Structure 1
Amino acid sequence: MLRIESTILRLYYRLAAWPRYQQVLDLPPLQRWGTFAGVFLLLQLLVFGSLYLIFDGVVVLGFLCSILAGLGTGVGALPALYMKDISQRLFSSMLGAAAGVMLAATAFSLLMPGIDFGNQLWPGLGIWVVAAGIALGALFIHVADERLPHLHFDTVAGNSLDSMEKISLFIIAITIHNFPEGLAVGVSFGNGDMKNGLALSIAVGLQNIPEGLAVALPLVGLGFNKWRAVALATLTGLVEPIGGFLGITMVSLFSAILPVAMGFAAGAMLFVITEEIIPETHINGKCRYATFALMLGFIVMMLLDTVMF
């Protein structure tokens, strides 16, 4: 475990110390973000071109939505440009609302469609197939949590992110948990139903906002350049397109695995919500605000999923 931890930290520090990377970060804000955007768009155009030649428009849209959802971390990090701290009540409420949104999206955009599609393939067995997927998804995140060094959300609430090493481990945790969210977005587009995919993309993007803020604020507190802190927070969300590409490619090529894949994505997200997000909202006696925020987030996402889409 120590060897894995030291290897990951060495890779992180080498990236931060890479001269070309430093030169880009030292540019004026407009040039810096223009450079990042240009490189990012070039890479995405290459991927989009490949997807368009191989798959149909729904697959390309699914990959695009996983990118936009991942950029929610960057949106959430933007307030770090103007503040150095946030009240625990507000942060807990934001996480509670994010948890409610994700719970509703998991139920209405993954589990219910997965059961319906499973019953079409195997009449009467859809719920069991999805249940098996839920167990596999939760087990996958559990193993990742056990094997990879990281810190949990409660370190943010405890104000213990006081070193670069701790922040690096927390960033690793956010990155690990963003992968199944991107996977879920990709899988939700797999049966060609854009309704479920768009609803889940919105949910994941909203849920990423407090995560981006949770990454950026400790970096600013350690004296990081504010734009650099926002950039690092944004990078944690860019693992989601990888999960999105993997999910939508697999279910497009092998449609029979879609019910299991939907259950897998739902199980992974349920594990993250119950292991990381909800417990953090009950720290420092601010749970009542977070509870009502969770209810509100669930209701809003339920309406978005069932009425607007």
Structure 2
Amino acid sequence: MVVEQFPKLFGTNPVVHGLVGGLVIAALNLLGASLVFVWRNPSERALDGALGFAAGVMLAASFTSLIIPGIETYTPSGSPFPVLIGMALGALFLDRSDMLVPHAHYLLSGKRRSDAANPSDTVPVADERLAGVVLFILAITLHNMPEGLAVGVGFGSGDLETAIPLMLAIGIQNIPEGLAVSVAAINAGLDRRFYAAFVGVRSGLVEIPLAILGAYAVQSVSALLPYAMGFAAGAMLFVISDEIVPETHTRGHERIATLGTIFGAIVMLYLDISLG
């Protein structure tokens, strides 16, 4: 039903579809960020479970909507290498970017995780609030980039049966992610009302143009499609493994985070089957 109605509502131009997809995921990020108005003090346990859910959705989406279709449908020879090369490049891009924008592992606690072995070296954000908040916003913005790109690449492929579940999956996982980053910013001292609005604008500024760019790029150079799908998948897998999983396993809530991950994967698989 959704797949059939989508072109009736938005036409058949994949770049326009990419724009719509970017708007949808940015709006759901804003929705998640705005939850701090009604859920003013979410517990660490609840947020770890929510972030685990986001990781599960992204994990399943990386395979069902990017890696597998990229190999089976969009590589003429059926070779997995274009997608695999793209995955390696996506992970490498995030890894090198993280070297420029240091990790901001204080999503829930208001503290930045130290790279030093001595736990006493962990520095409260209050002692370096401005620098910490700036780094945090840069890091989260960086990690939103592959999500917008993935949606654009999905729509650029012209396969709505793959692109729409991917858009919904990334949009759904943007809700707990938006909430988590709002909580982190509040812990760091930012005003609740200001940041809830800002995170939505910040998300749109990076996700919407990247969704358009992803759709345009693969439409203009079709040979890029399997590489782009692999790139987006590799970048998302890097974020899951390097950021979300460690973040949800540092406060003693590993079980609820793991259950959230499994539930997120189930939701994504259901979306893929029911809409695909």
Please indicate the TM-score interval, normalised by the length of the shorter structure. Answer: 0.7 to 0.9
Match of 2:23 in 1: 67
Amino acid at match of 1:137: G
Partner of 2:38: 82
Looking at structure 2, the residues matched to 273 and 172 of structure 1 have their Cα atoms a distance apart, in angstroms, of 17
Question: 1:79-137: per-residue Cα shift (whole Å, max 9, x none)?
Answer: 21234432111000000000000111111000111002344x2x242x11111110011
Identity %: 41
Note if contact 2:14-2:215 (Cα within 8 Å) is conserved in structure 1.
Answer: no
1:263 Cα offset (Å): 0.5
Describe the shift of the 1:224–1:303 C-alpha distance in structure 2 as closer, same or farther (beyond 3 A).
same
Superposed CA offset, 1:8-66 (max 9, x none) = xxxxxxxxxxxxxxxxxxxxxxxxxxxxxxxxxxxxxxxxxxxx9xx952321122111
Which residue number in structure 2 is paired with residue 237 of structure 1?
A: 203
1:232-271 counterparts in 2 under 5 A?
Answer: 232-238=198-204, 239-271=206-238
Q: How far apart, CA to CA, are the structure 2 residues paired with 1:251 and 1:137?
A: 16
**Structure with higher RCO (Cα < 8 A, 6+ apart):** 2
Aligned pair in 2 of structure 1 residues 175, 187: CA closer, same or farther (>3 Å)? same
CA–CA distance in structure 1, aligned partners of residues 154 and 88 of structure 2:
18
Paired residues of 1:80 and 1:220 also in contact (CA < 8 A): no
TM normalised by structure 2 equals 0.85
Partner secondary structure for residue 80 of structure 1 = helix
8 Å CA contact 1:188, 1:262 repeated in 2: yes
Q: For 2:173, which of 182, 207, 212 is the aligned residue?
A: 207
Q: Is the 8 A contact 2:182 2:196 kept in 1?
A: yes
**Structure 2 CA distance, aligned partners of 1:82 and 1:139?**
39
Call closer, same or farther: CA 1:224–1:83 in 2, change over 3 Å: farther
Corresponding residue pairs, total: 251
User: What is the Cα deviation at residue 205 of structure 1?
Assistant: 1.1
CA distance in 2, matches of 1:158, 1:220: 10
Q: Which amino acid aligns with 1:95?
A: L
Taking the TM superposition and a 5 Å limit, the aligned residue runs for 1:51-66 are 56-66=12-22
Q: Give the distance between the partners of 2:188 and 2:236, measured in 1 at CA.
A: 31
Q: Which residue among 244, 256, 261 is the counterpart of 1:277?
A: 244
Residues 1:117 and 1:288: Cα distance change in structure 2 (over 3 Å): same
Partner of 1:155: 106
In the TM superposition, residue 78 of structure 1 has moved relative to its aligned partner by: 1.3
* 2:4 match: none
Q: Distance in 2 between matches of 1:204 and 1:263?
A: 16
Higher helix share: 1
What letter matches 1:266 in structure 2? A
**Within 2, Cα distance between the matches of 1:265 and 1:214?**
22
Aligned partner letter, 2:85: A
Residue 109 in 1 paired to residue 62 in 2?
no
How many Å separate the matches in 2 of 1:108 and 1:274?
18
In the alignment, is the contact (CA less than 8 A) between 1:74 and 1:230 conserved in 2? yes
Aligned-partner residue type, residue 97 of structure 1: F
Contact 2:146 2:235 in 1 (8 A): yes
2:183 pairs with 1:217: yes
1:290 equivalenced with 2:257 (yes/no): yes
Aligned 1:169-184 pairs, distance under 5 A: 169-184=135-150
Q: Per the alignment, do residues 113 and 124 of structure 1 end up closer, same or farther by CA in structure 2, a change over 3 Å counting?
A: closer
Q: Quick one: distance in 1 between partners of 2:188 and 2:47?
A: 19
For 1:93, the aligned partner's letter is G
CA distance in 1, matches of 2:189, 2:98: 29
Is the CA contact (8 Å cut-off) linking 2:54 and 2:177 kept in structure 1? no
The structure whose Rg is larger is 1
C-alpha distance in 2 between matches for 1:281 and 1:222: 19
Cα offset, 1:72, TM superposition: 2.1
